[in-house]
A and B are shown apart, each in its own frame.
Chain A
Amino acid sequence: AQKITQTQPGMFVQEKEAVTLDCTYDTSDPSYGLFWYKQPSSGEMIFLIYQGSYDQQNATEGRYSLNFQKARKSANLVISASQLGDSAMYFCAMRDSNYQLIWGAGTKLIIKP
Chain B
Amino acid sequence: GAVVSQHPSRVICKSGTSVKIECRSLDFQATTMFWYRQFPKQSLMLMATSNEGSKATYEQGVEKDKFLINHASLTLSTLTVTSAHPEDSSFYICSARVQQFRAYGYTFGSGTRLTVV
Name A residues whose Cβ lies closer than 8 Å to a Cβ of B: 33, 35, 42-45, 47, 50, 52, 91, 95, 98-101, 103-106, 108
A104 and B44 CA atoms in complex are apart in Å by: 9
Q: Which residues of chain B have C-beta atoms less than 8 A from A43's C-beta? A: 38, 91, 93, 110-111, 113
A33 to B97, CA, bound (A): 14
Cβ contact within 8 Å between A35 and B46? no
The segment from B21-29, B63-71, B72-80, B100-108 that touches chain A is B100-108
Asked if residues A105 and B42 are in contact (CB atoms below 8 Å), the reply is: yes
Residues of B within 8 A of A42 (CB): 110
Task: Give the chain B neighbours of A105 by CB distance below 8 A.
Answer: 42-43
- Closest-CB distance, B102 to chain A (whole angstroms): 8
Whole-angstrom CA separation of A52 from B104 in the bound complex: 9
Residues of B in contact, count (CB < 8 Å): 22
A35/B93 in contact, CB under 8 A: no
Residue of chain A at shortest CB distance from B38: A43
A50 and B103 contact, CB distance less than 8 A: yes
Docked pose: A35 CA to B102 CA in angstroms = 12
Closest approach, in angstroms, between the C-beta of A93 and any C-beta of chain B? 8
CA–CA, A52 and B34, complex, Å = 21
Contact across chains for A45 and B104 when beta carbons are under 8 A apart: no
| Ranked 10 nearest A-B pairs via Cβ | A45-B108, A43-B111, A47-B103, A50-B104, A103-B43, A44-B110, A103-B44, A105-B43, A106-B43, A99-B97
Are A47 and B34 touching (Cβ within 8 A)?
A: no
Judge whether B82 is part of the interface by a CB distance below 8 angstroms: no
Q: Complex formed: what's the CA distance from A91 to B38 in Å?
A: 13
CB distance from A61 to the nearest CB of B (A): 9
- Collect the chain A residues with CB atoms within 8 Å of residue B41's CB: 108
Closest to B110 in A: A44
CB nearest neighbor in B for A50:
B104
Determine if B50 is an interface residue (Cβ-Cβ < 8 Å).
no
Given known A-B contacts A103-B44, A105-B42, A44 and B108 have beta carbons under 8 A apart: yes
**Complex CA–CA separation, A33 to B104 (angstroms):** 9
Chain A residue numbers with a CB within 8 Å of B44 are 45, 91, 101, 103
